[in-house]
Structure 1
C-alpha cells in the first residue's frame, strides 16, 4: 500500500485511529469504574449498585446480542445464488 492510498483512507479505518479509539475507550471505561469508589451509586435493585455493574452488564449484553445475531443469521441464511434463480418461467 503506497502512501497516497493510505492518506486517502477514511480516518476511522486507519490502524493508528483504531488503536487510539481502543486505548481511549479502555481508559474511559476504567475511569468510570474507578469513579464509583467516590460517587455512591444508588441502584433500583441490589445488584445495579455493585461496583462495575454497568460495565459488566453492558459487556454481557453485547456478547448476547452478537450470539443472537449469529444464531439468527444461521436461521435465515440463504444460498449465495438464491436470487439468481434456477427454474424461472422467463
Structure 2
C-alpha cells in the first residue's frame, strides 16, 4: 500500500496556518496604524489590504477572471514583505 506525498490533513493545516498568519498580519498592521495614524507607510499598507479584499470580492462576483486571479495570487506575499519592511524600519528607530 503506497501513501501519497502528503495527506489531506496536512493540506488543511497548511491552509489554516496561512489564513491565521494573514489574519495576524492584518491585525498587527491595524494596531500599528492605530498607534501611528499619520504614518504614510502604514496607511499605504492598509489601503492595499482593503484593495486586495475588494478585488477578491469583485473577482468572485464576476466568476473569477484569470488575469485578476493571477494578480490576486501575488498580492498577499507582497503585502507580507512590505509589512516586514515597515516593522524592520520601525525597530531600527
Give the shorter-chain TM-score range: 0.3 to 0.5
RCO greater where, 1 or 2, for CA within 8 Å and sep 6 or more?
Answer: 2
Larger Rg: 1
**TM norm structure 2:** 0.46
More helix by share: 2
**TM norm structure 1:** 0.47
